[in-house]
């Protein structure tokens, strides 16, 4: 019996070993490939490939094969995901992935990818499930009249020439289709060469064009576009003929550039790189991450994967890799979104006094080093270990857009990342610049923040870190505190001739001491955990001869819904107005209709200006265009704080002087600093907002 058991055990282990041995696929190494590129293609780590292929960490050779572990064994895919030579099943799209990246990874065309996954045709989103059967033949596509289907080896210039039109005509007719580099299988519109021929500096509006896109495309603001074309102020329509000649605004730049043709006439080094598909390219003045990606016809993700150092900074004179078909004879700077384009530039005081001749230093104190931030693999590994680190990535991506925007203003500065180390109580910054700032976002424990010394002036910017100043350093708290939101709201209520009633779902109201100090006569009511009042408690407390402010002090949506329902039932007999002490207490729009806010004329403090939809929407579109995801709150903070600090550093007076004298506003935040004590300045840029049944939102200050 024991011999049979031993035999069965041996057979079982052999079967397990055989299955384990087959739990990989073989990849034939192509010329120019690296282990990192191969790992990205299969969605596995480089270490997983190294472990199956001893010696591959040193060198790999074209023509040989590598064993690639199934991605499910490396915990990079869901347990039900299958990736094989002929099939991809239940693959979940990750944040930052693109159609072109997935098509290369899975070895299919974008057309095939869309054919079998029609839900991604309009837009690819994180969370989409991808299924591909490579045994299915791709539907044969025939170009309709006036269309052209791109085949391997074609370029925009070649397509334009073969159809007897100019490159400008082809690009104009496909403005909404050329967000990335030219793709095999992509359908292009071929305009009629005998109609709508425009002269130099003119453009015929196409269906789907917007003022925002056209202004960016022709390197001008929306206001400049409308000034040159008054007929589009009220409405932009297809067929409008536009004057897009901005030579008058750029004549000085052109004169300067013409005298320096030997320096800027060629921005590409002719020697090809070792990869064959790319050339070395020298970054020119004013170029940004966004403009470089557009020049390369690549997404930001693809460009930074090719050039990881661009994730940290874009430096004039650095050599990067660009596709071989990118040739530029002039500095090609893409106009950035002008987030101040709201009729009146609220930051004119900052823009009027910019100093661009002198460089400044800006530092970021983060959990990532420059190398870790530049390596998608290391970055993802850290986030997988601690998901809370994602907010730092979001913050820095918002900051990157601010850095690009500052470069278009010709601001002169150097960017440095400092990785935080809780084991170092002292940090010494040796800066070559007279004015410097260090941004410290989301410090989990202020006691871990080191004492900083510097040979030059250094301003410490606190972003929700609660830093305690050390020595003689000055700290600038850039985000208004919760306590200030509450205090400002209560101070407003105290000036009104009204009764204040505080409603809470706790035995002891959270903010009772603060409320009692500011409004001594305030009354307090308790609701149960579901938000219901005791019988007649509400009616007995309300007064008919006065306005009744009901301050709801609860974090639960169910309490908000039930208590406000009770309030609305009393509106026919009492004058009631709802108040929230923090904007973060407001339920999400998906949970509560703003009609409830309007009926109860809700009063609340707001860090942002909820009426500035244009500035916010412009930023969101720009962010999605670059990073292919919606910006988070941390992305918004990264943009606003970084741009504001760069503008203040670049003034013709001291940083502290601009803090004392200039109030600024950006798409999301208002910066109105006041001195709290000798070491701390606090941003008190809070608005007291009210919903009105007829006028929407209004500011009460």
| Residue range 415-442: mean pLDDT, rounded | 86
pLDDT grade, residue 432 (50/70/90)?
confident
Q: Please, what is the average pLDDT of the chain?
A: 78
Instruction: Tell me how far CA of residue 544 lies from CA of 381, 533, 551, 572, 604, in angstroms.
Output: 61, 19, 17, 11, 23
Tell me how many domains the chain contains: 5
The confidence score (pLDDT) of residue 343 equals 40
- Chosen domain end from 111, 133, 155: 133
Give me the residues paired with residue 323 across strands: 278
Question: pLDDT higher for 691 or 287?
Answer: 691
Question: pLDDT higher for 648 or 276?
Answer: 648
Q: Tell me: the pLDDT tens digits for 62-121? A: 778 888 887 655 444 444 677 777 788 888 888 767 777 787 778 888 778 888 887 776
Question: Are residues 596 and 618 both part of a single domain?
Answer: no
pLDDT grade, residue 574 (50/70/90)?
very high
Question: Are residues 83 and 203 both part of a single domain?
Answer: no
Residues with Cβ within 8 Å of 236's Cβ and at least 6 positions away in sequence, in order, are: 205, 209, 210, 211, 214
Cβ atoms 258, 251 nearer than 8 A: no
Question: Are residues 513 and 594 both part of a single domain?
Answer: yes
- The tokens for 548 are 């009744």
Note whether residue 358 is domain-resident. Answer: yes
Distance of alpha carbon 338 from alpha carbon 615, whole angstroms: 9
| Residue range 685-692: mean pLDDT, rounded | 90
What residue spans of 259-388 are helical by DSSP H?
261-264, 289-296, 300-306, 348-351, 370-374, 376-385
If we measure between CA atoms, which residue out of 484, 389, 403 comes closest to residue 441? 389
The confidence score (pLDDT) of residue 660 equals 93
Q: In the predicted model, is pLDDT for residue 326 greater than 70?
A: no
Q: In the predicted model, is pLDDT for residue 196 greater than 80?
A: no
If we measure between CA atoms, which residue out of 502, 579, 578 comes closest to residue 541? 502
Determine phi and psi for 588, rounding to 5 degrees.
-65, 150
Question: Are residues 72 and 95 both part of a single domain?
Answer: yes
DSSP calls for 183-207: -TT-EEE---TTSSPPPTTEEEPPT
- Chosen domain end from 556, 572, 603: 603
pLDDT grade, residue 124 (50/70/90)?
confident
Residue range of the domain that includes 539: 482-603
Distance of alpha carbon 602 from alpha carbon 145, whole angstroms: 57
Note whether residue 539 is domain-resident. Answer: yes
Question: Are residues 446 and 354 both part of a single domain?
Answer: yes
Question: Are residues 421 and 409 both part of a single domain?
Answer: yes
| Residue range 444-465: mean pLDDT, rounded | 83
Q: In the predicted model, is pLDDT for residue 625 greater than 50?
A: yes
Question: pLDDT higher for 223 or 10?
Answer: 223
Find the CATH number of the domain harbouring 679.
3.40.50.2300
Q: Tell me: the pLDDT tens digits for 206-228? A: 766 777 677 767 777 777 787 88
Question: Are residues 300 and 398 both part of a single domain?
Answer: no
For the chain, percent of residues with pLDDT exceeding 70: 78
| Residue range 321-328: mean pLDDT, rounded | 66
Question: pLDDT higher for 491 or 261?
Answer: 491
Note whether residue 569 is domain-resident. Answer: yes
Note whether residue 652 is domain-resident. Answer: yes
Q: Tell me: the pLDDT tens digits for 259-310? A: 333 333 333 333 333 344 677 788 887 777 777 877 887 777 677 777 777 7
Cβ atoms 470, 451 nearer than 8 A: yes
| Residue range 553-581: mean pLDDT, rounded | 90
Q: Tell me: the pLDDT tens digits for 398-407? A: 999 999 888 8
| Residue range 602-608: mean pLDDT, rounded | 91
Distance of alpha carbon 218 from alpha carbon 216, whole angstroms: 6
| Residue range 467-474: mean pLDDT, rounded | 82
Note whether residue 5 is domain-resident. Answer: no
Cβ atoms 553, 502 nearer than 8 A: yes
Question: pLDDT higher for 423 or 289?
Answer: 289
Instruction: Tell me how far CA of residue 88 lies from CA of 39, 91, 132, in angstroms.
Output: 16, 7, 5
- The tokens for 190 are 């071929």
Find the CATH number of the domain harbouring 534.
3.40.1010
Question: Are residues 245 and 307 both part of a single domain?
Answer: no
The confidence score (pLDDT) of residue 146 equals 78
Establish how many alpha carbons lie within 13 A of residue 209's alpha carbon, considering only the half-sphere containing its beta carbon. 25
Question: Are residues 489 and 573 both part of a single domain?
Answer: yes
pLDDT grade, residue 659 (50/70/90)?
very high
Question: Are residues 95 and 169 both part of a single domain?
Answer: no
Q: Tell me: the pLDDT tens digits for 139-189? A: 766 777 778 888 777 777 778 878 888 766 777 677 656 644 566 677 788
Q: In the predicted model, is pLDDT for residue 601 greater than 80?
A: yes
DSSP 98: -
The confidence score (pLDDT) of residue 615 equals 83
Instruction: Tell me how far CA of residue 701 lies from CA of 347, 533, 604, 612, 689, in angstroms.
Output: 20, 32, 12, 17, 8
Question: pLDDT higher for 370 or 352?
Answer: 352
Question: Distance from CA of residue 511 to its chain's centroid?
Answer: 35
Highest mean pLDDT: which range of 61-65, 118-122, 195-199, 362-366:
362-366
Q: Is 361 helix (H, G, I), strand (E, B) or coil?
A: strand
Question: Are residues 317 and 423 both part of a single domain?
Answer: no
Question: pLDDT higher for 615 or 177?
Answer: 615
Note whether residue 333 is domain-resident. Answer: no
Note whether residue 183 is domain-resident. Answer: yes
The confidence score (pLDDT) of residue 329 equals 37
Q: In the predicted model, is pLDDT for residue 313 greater than 70?
A: no
Question: pLDDT higher for 589 or 513?
Answer: 513
| Residue range 572-594: mean pLDDT, rounded | 86
Find the CATH number of the domain harbouring 204.
3.10.350.10
- The tokens for 191 are 């305009």
Question: Are residues 486 and 505 both part of a single domain?
Answer: yes
The confidence score (pLDDT) of residue 81 equals 75
Distance of alpha carbon 537 from alpha carbon 632, whole angstroms: 41
- Chosen domain end from 574, 603, 632: 603
pLDDT grade, residue 242 (50/70/90)?
confident
Note whether residue 138 is domain-resident. Answer: no
Cβ atoms 269, 263 nearer than 8 A: no
| Residue range 624-641: mean pLDDT, rounded | 90
Q: In the predicted model, is pLDDT for residue 13 greater than 70?
A: no
Instruction: Measure the CA angle with vertex 490, ends 486 and 493; round to 5°.
Output: 150
């Amino acid at each position: 019996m024991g011999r049979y058991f031993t035999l069965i055990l041996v057979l079982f282990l052999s079967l397990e070993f055989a299955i384990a041995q087959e739990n990989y696929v073989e990849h034939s190494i192509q010329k120019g490939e690296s282990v990192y590129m191969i790992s990205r293609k299969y969605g596995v780590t480089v270490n997983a490939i190294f472990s199956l292929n001893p010696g591959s960490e040193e060198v790999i050779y074209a023509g040989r094969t590598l064993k690639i572990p199934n991605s499910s064994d490396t915990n990079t895919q869901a347990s039900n995901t299958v990736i094989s030579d002929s099939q991809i099943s239940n693959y979940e799209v990750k944040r930052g992935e693109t159609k072109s990246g997935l098509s290369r990874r899975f070895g299919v065309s974008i057309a095939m990818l869309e054919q079998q996954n029609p839900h991604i045709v309009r837009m690819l989103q994180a969370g989409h499930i991808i299924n591909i059967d490579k045994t299915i033949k791709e539907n044969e596509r025939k170009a309709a009249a006036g269309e052209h289907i791109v085949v391997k080896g074609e370029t925009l210039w070649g397509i334009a020439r073969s159809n007897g039109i100019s490159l400008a005509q082809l690009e104009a007719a496909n403005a909404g289709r050329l967000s990335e580099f030219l793709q095999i299988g992509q359908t292009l519109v071929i305009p009629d060469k005998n109609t709508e021929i425009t002269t130099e500096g003119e453009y015929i509006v196409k269906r789907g064009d917007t003022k925002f896109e056209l202004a960016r495309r022709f390197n001008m603001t929306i206001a400049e576009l409308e000034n040159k074309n008054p007929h589009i102020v009220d409405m932009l329509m297809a067929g409008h003929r536009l004057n897009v000649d901005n030579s008058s605004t750029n004549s000085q730049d052109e004169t300067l550039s013409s005298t320096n043709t030997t320096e800027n006439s060629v921005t590409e080094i002719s020697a090809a790189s070792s990869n064959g598909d790319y050339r070395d390219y020298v970054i020119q003045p004013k170029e940004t991450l966004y403009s470089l990606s557009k020049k390369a016809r690549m997404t930001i993700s693809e460009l930074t994967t090719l050039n990881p150092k661009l994730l940290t900074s874009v430096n004039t004179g650095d050599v990067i890799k660009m596709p071989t078909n990118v040739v530029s004879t002039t500095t090609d700077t893409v106009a950035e979104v002008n987030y101040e384009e709201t009729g009146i530039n609220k930051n004119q005081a900052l823009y009027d006094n910019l100093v661009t001749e002198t460089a400044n230093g800006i530092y970021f104190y983060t959990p990532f080093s420059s190398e870790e931030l530049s390596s998608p693999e290391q970055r993802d590994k850290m986030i997988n270990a601690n998901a809370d680190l994602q907010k730092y990535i979001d913050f820095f991506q918002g900051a990157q857009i601010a850095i690009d925007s500052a470069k278009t203003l010709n601001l002169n500065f150097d960017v440095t990342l400092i990785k935080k180390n809780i084991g170092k109580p002292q940090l010494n910054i040796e800066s070559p610049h007279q004015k410097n700032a260090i941004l410290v976002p989301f410090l989990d424990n202020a006691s871990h923040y080191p004492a900083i010394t510097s040979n030059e002036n250094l301003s410490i910017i606190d972003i929700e870190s609660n830093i305690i100043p050390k020595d003689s350093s000055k700290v600038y708290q850039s985000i208004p505190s919760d306590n200030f939101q509450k205090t400002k709201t209560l101070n407003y209520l105290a000036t009104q001739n009204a009764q204040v009633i505080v409603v809470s779902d706790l035995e002891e109201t959270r903010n009772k001491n603060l409320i009692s100090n500011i409004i001594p006569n305030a009354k307090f009511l308790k609701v149960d955990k579901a938000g219901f009042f005791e019988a007649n408690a509400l009616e007995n407390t309300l007064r008919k001869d006065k306005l009744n402010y009901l301050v709801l002090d609860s974090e639960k949506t169910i309490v908000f819904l039930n208590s406000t329902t009770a309030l609305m039932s009393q509106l026919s007999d009492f004058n009631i107005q709802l108040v929230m002490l923090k904007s973060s207490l407001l339920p999400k729009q998906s949970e509560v209709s703003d009609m409830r806010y309007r009926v109860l004329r809700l009063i609340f403090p707001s860090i942002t200006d909820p009426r500035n939809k244009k500035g916010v929407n412009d930023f969101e579109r720009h962010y999605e265009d670059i990073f292919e995801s919606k910006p988070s709150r941390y992305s918004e903070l990264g943009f606003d704080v970084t741009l504001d600090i760069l503008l203040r550093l670049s003034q013709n007076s001291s940083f502290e002087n601009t803090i004392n004298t200039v109030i600024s506003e950006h798409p999301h935040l208002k910066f109105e600093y006041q001195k709290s004590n000798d070491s701390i300045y606090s941003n008190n840029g809070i608005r007291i907002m009210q919903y009105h049944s007829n006028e929407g939102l209004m500011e009460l200050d």
